Amino acid sequence: TCIDAVNNLVADADMLSEAAHEGRISTRANPERHYGEFRKVIEGVNQTLDMIVAPIATVKEAVETITTAANEISSGNNDLSSRTEQQASSLEE
């Protein structure tokens, strides 16, 4: 019925809102649960979320790469510092 269709649309909107609030940005509504114009609305919302989330995912990946590189540099610096101290200690002896 029409009431069921509206209730399903509202339920999916609520589910997407809750998922976004909880940080689950990859959550999508299932358009197969809807018919006609309601299906088009859900498909449009899913496409909009994909367009918004894609750049965020790209930035997240870049941040993870930078974090890994920074950790490797820090580890290398600590190793170099330790070896420099050992070398200085050897020279003092």
Query: Which pLDDT tens digits describe the chain residue by residue (93 residues)?
Result: 899 999 999 999 999 999 999 999 999 999 999 999 999 999 999 999 999 999 999 999 999 999 999 999 999 999 999 999 999 988 887
Among 64, 57, 35, 30, CA closest to 46: 30
Say if CB 8 and CB 34 are below 8 A apart: yes
Burial level of 73, CB count in 10 A (0-12/13-18/19+)? exposed
Cα distances (Å, whole numbers) of residue 8 to 26, 34, 48? 20, 8, 19
pLDDT reported for residue 90: 87
The pLDDT value given to residue 93: 76
Structure tokens at 44: 């449009």
The reported pTM is 0.64
Which one-letter DSSP state was computed for residue 33?
Answer: G
Domain positions in the chain are 2-92
Q: Supply the pLDDT for residue 79.
A: 94
Q: What is the pLDDT of residue 92?
A: 83
Residue 22 confidence (pLDDT)? 96
Which pLDDT value is given to residue 37? 94
